[in-house]
Amino acid sequence: MFDVVVIGSGPAGYVAAIKASQLGLKTLCIEESIDKKGKANLGGTCLNVGCIPSKALLDSSHRYYEAHKNLSEHGIKIEKLGLDLSSMMKRKDDIVNKLTGGISGLFSANKVKSLSGRGKVISPNTIEVTKADGSIENIEAKNIIIATGSKPIEIPSAKFSKNIVDSTGALSFDKVPKTLGVVGAGIIGLELGSVWSRLGSEVTVIEALDDFLPIADKDISKESLKEFKKQGLDIQLGSKVTKSSQEKDCVTVTYENQGKEIEKKFDKLIVAVGRSPNSEGVIDEGLNISINKGFIEVNEFCQTAVSNIWAVGDVVRGPMLAHKGSEEGIMVAERIAEKHAQVNYDLVPSVIYSHPEIAWVGSNEGELKSKNINYKVGKFPFSASGRALAVDQSVGFVKVLSDKKTDTILGVHVFGPAAAEIVQQALISMEFGASSEDIALTMFSHPTVSEAFHEAALASNNQAIHIGNKVK
Ligand code: FAD
Ligand code: NAI
């Protein structure tokens, strides 16, 4: 009998398993995906076909774009620039293999056992594991953590086929599509649309909503839309794909925009309209565990209605982000070990790895307005940052939202260089309950792009040094 059995080895599952073992619990992790050698392929969506390969391609494509477009004004001349896509893909695959292999190493070092097969919870203490060869093994556990993740949503008007692909397909095209359609201007659409646009594809993004990036602060959505368009993404808002047909070497897509029917041909079409939780067939229906729109229902501690069965990561409510799943995994392992852990769901940071990056933590203006919270805004543009100008990345701004009365920081929103890193600074300060004055009174290194966070905090109280405040 294991103390803990984790089903799924993505960032929620493998982190939960390592933590549980570190806490002295006898732990097994079951993973259905298998590698070429027939062993459990660890790491889940994030390491294999998500966070890591997408960031590897974002970096490579950015370097190519810079070399192609932006180096001449630095006085750097490149003759005969070329693109070797297979080497770019090999680099990405090598990084993925290194990291997924690293998890096996971490499991060994932390005494986590792994088992390859598809897990199904059939009783509060039993998991039925179906192996690749069809054989079945029942495993007994005192506690079960379900971390089965999510999968791309398929839409009836653009079913996956040879040239209509999900994010996984879009991470391994064997040549740069001349024309590329992307359905959905969400995080995947923008990140992978940017990758292929930088490598030379003519990219059209077809988004159903009239608003661009409604999850972000409205100023960021507005500014970033301009920048994405400038970078060559043709973003068609308020557009609904009604049909598509797969032809020999292309796809014909029909979509409606403001009552008009538009037909376009693309070499490839990426469908990125969100992800749905992997909960089907994971829990026996006889168990008293509710599933709501595919999400396994849990309380704030990720505990299901059966007290020794827990669920974490993409398969439960909340943002589908690797770090959110990992923190839930740690919380659950600690609670099984009778510790008092919790996750602060108010401070889950978000990052879109575009260039420049978009990142935020806490509430945005729309959310504060809807909650009738009185707030003040401190904003600082990167065009006034010496470092941002020196590194040629002066687009965007830092925006600090703080409580009008108490000055406590309620949200920080960044569009610009190193936005992801600046938001981690904001996140730490918010975890400690900082006010904008606390940041204003902190000394930042010069010249850094982080100074824009300092200046935005100063601007919250009309005290910024490097922009014209109103002198009373
Ligand atoms: P998953 O990573 O999906 O892992 C679930 C695992 O469970 C899989 O290995 C699956 O094979 C296994 N499994 C499923 N069912 C069973 C079963 N019955 N038995 C055994 N095993 C099973 N998030 C970020 O935070 N930052 C990013 O930059 C980022 N980039 C992304 C880019 C892309 C292209 C995509 C698609 C996603 C990205 N995400 C990113 C989201 C991130 O990948 C997910 O939030 C994260 O992987 C969820 O972790 P998880 O452990 O819950 O599930
Ligand atoms: P998403 O939810 O971010 O965006 C989907 C977009 O598609 C939305 O704008 C939505 O309005 C639109 N849409 C939905 N149905 C449509 C239709 N029929 N036609 C046209 N548009 C339609 O989902 P996405 O981009 O697929 O990513 C899934 C999740 O993966 C993200 O929400 C995020 O949680 C995670 N992710 C995180 C990343 C990061 O942290 N940097 C990177 C990539 C993914």
Give me ligand 2 centre to Cα 152, in Å.
9
Q: How confident is residue 39, by pLDDT bands cut at 50, 70 and 90?
A: confident
Q: How far apart are CA 236 and CA 249, in angstroms?
A: 24
Instruction: Supply the range of the domain harboring residue 381.
Output: 356-459
At 54-66, the pLDDT tens digits run 999 999 999 999 9
Give me ligand 1 centre to Cα 278, in Å.
10
What pLDDT does 472 receive?
58
Q: How confident is residue 187, by pLDDT bands cut at 50, 70 and 90?
A: very high
CATH number of residue 420's parent domain:
3.30.390.30
- CA-proximal residue: ligand 1, atom 33 (nearest): 50
Among candidate residues 327, 346, 365, the one where a domain is terminated: 346
Residues 241 and 332 in one domain: no
Q: Output the pTM of the full model.
A: 0.97
Give me ligand 1 centre to Cα 131, in Å.
21
82 and 63 in contact (C-beta within 8 Å)? no
What pLDDT does 359 receive?
98
Asked if the bond preceding 447 is cis, omega within 30° of 0, the reply is yes
- Chain-centroid distance of CA 247 in Å reads 32
472 in a structural domain: no
Q: How far apart are CA 255 and CA 263, in angstroms?
A: 7
The alpha-carbon radius of gyration of the chain (Å, integer) is 24
| Residues with C-beta less than 6 Å from any ligand 1 atom | 7-13, 30-33, 44-46, 50-51, 54, 118-119, 147-150, 167, 188, 278, 282, 313-314, 320-323, 325
CATH number of residue 244's parent domain:
3.50.50.60
Ligand 2: which of 166, 188, 235 to mutate, judged by most atoms within 8 Å of the beta carbon?
Answer: 188
What pLDDT does 37 receive?
80
Atom of ligand 2 nearest to the CA of 206: 20
Q: Which of 352, 58, 60, 355 is nearest to 227 (CA)?
A: 355
For residue 344, with 0-12 CB atoms within 10 Å meaning exposed, 13-18 middle and 19 or more buried, which class applies? Answer: exposed
Portion of the chain with pLDDT greater than 90, in percent: 94
Residue 469 has pLDDT above 70, yes or no: no
What pLDDT does 417 receive?
98
Residue 138 has pLDDT above 70, yes or no: yes
The three-state DSSP-derived secondary structure of 60-127 is: HHHHHHHHHHHCHHHCCCCCCCCCCHHHHHHHHHHHHHHHHHHHHHHHHHCCCEEEECEEEEEECCEE
Give me ligand 2 centre to Cα 272, in Å.
6
For the segment 170-182, the average pLDDT, to the nearest whole number, is 98
For the segment 289-299, the average pLDDT, to the nearest whole number, is 97
For residue 218, with 0-12 CB atoms within 10 Å meaning exposed, 13-18 middle and 19 or more buried, which class applies? Answer: middle
Q: Which residue has the tokens 């709501």?
A: 292
For the segment 336-362, the average pLDDT, to the nearest whole number, is 98
What pLDDT does 471 receive?
59
267 and 173 in contact (C-beta within 8 Å)? no
Query: Does residue 171 or residue 469 have the better pLDDT?
Result: 171
Residue 36 has pLDDT above 90, yes or no: no
DSSP 423-467: HHHHHHHHHTT-BHHHHHTS---SS-TTHHHHHHHHHHTT--SSS
Residues 187 and 333 in one domain: no
At 411-427, the pLDDT tens digits run 999 999 999 999 999 99
Residues 325 and 412 in one domain: no
Distances (CA, A) of 388 to 59, 78, 271, 427, 463: 19, 24, 35, 22, 21
188 in a structural domain: yes
467 in a structural domain: no
Q: How far apart are CA 247 and CA 301, in angstroms?
A: 49
Query: Which H or E run includes 241?
Result: strand 239-246
121 in a structural domain: yes
Q: Strand pairing partners for 357?
A: 416
Inter-axis angle of helices 451-460 and 419-431, nearest 10: 50
157 in a structural domain: no
Strands 409-416 and 397-403: antiparallel
Q: HSE-up of 211 (CA within 13 Å, CB side)?
A: 9
Residues 73 and 186 in one domain: no
What pLDDT does 236 receive?
97
Query: Which H or E run includes 230?
Result: helix 218-230
Residue 50 has pLDDT above 90, yes or no: yes
Q: How far apart are CA 340 and CA 338, in angstroms?
A: 7
120 and 285 in contact (C-beta within 8 Å)? no
Residue 148 has pLDDT above 70, yes or no: yes
What pLDDT does 72 receive?
87
Give me ligand 2 centre to Cα 183, in Å.
9
Ligand nearest to the CA of 187: 2
Residues 174 and 187 in one domain: yes
- CA-proximal residue: ligand 2, atom 12 (nearest): 184
- CA-proximal residue: ligand 1, atom 26 (nearest): 51
136 and 130 in contact (C-beta within 8 Å)? yes
469 in a structural domain: no
159 in a structural domain: no
Among candidate residues 306, 323, 346, the one where a domain is terminated: 346
Q: Which of 118, 203, 139, 141 is nearest to 3 (CA)?
A: 141
Locate 187 and state its tokens: 């995080």
Q: How confident is residue 69, by pLDDT bands cut at 50, 70 and 90?
A: confident
Residues 375 and 311 in one domain: no
Q: How confident is residue 8, by pLDDT bands cut at 50, 70 and 90?
A: very high
- Mark whether 62 is an active-site residue: no
| Residues with C-beta less than 6 Å from any ligand 2 atom | 155, 183-189, 191, 206-209, 240-241, 272-275, 319-321, 351-353
Residues 22 and 130 in one domain: yes
Ligand nearest to the CA of 31: 1
Q: Into how many domains does the chain fold?
A: 3
At 444-459, the pLDDT tens digits run 999 999 999 999 999 9
379 in a structural domain: yes
Residues 10 and 122 in one domain: yes
Strand boundaries in 247-289, DSSP class E: 251-257, 260-266, 268-271, 275-277
Residues 388 and 320 in one domain: no
Mean pLDDT, rounded, of the chain: 96
Give me ligand 2 centre to Cα 321, in Å.
12
Q: How confident is residue 470, by pLDDT bands cut at 50, 70 and 90?
A: low
Residues 393 and 251 in one domain: no
For the segment 244-256, the average pLDDT, to the nearest whole number, is 94
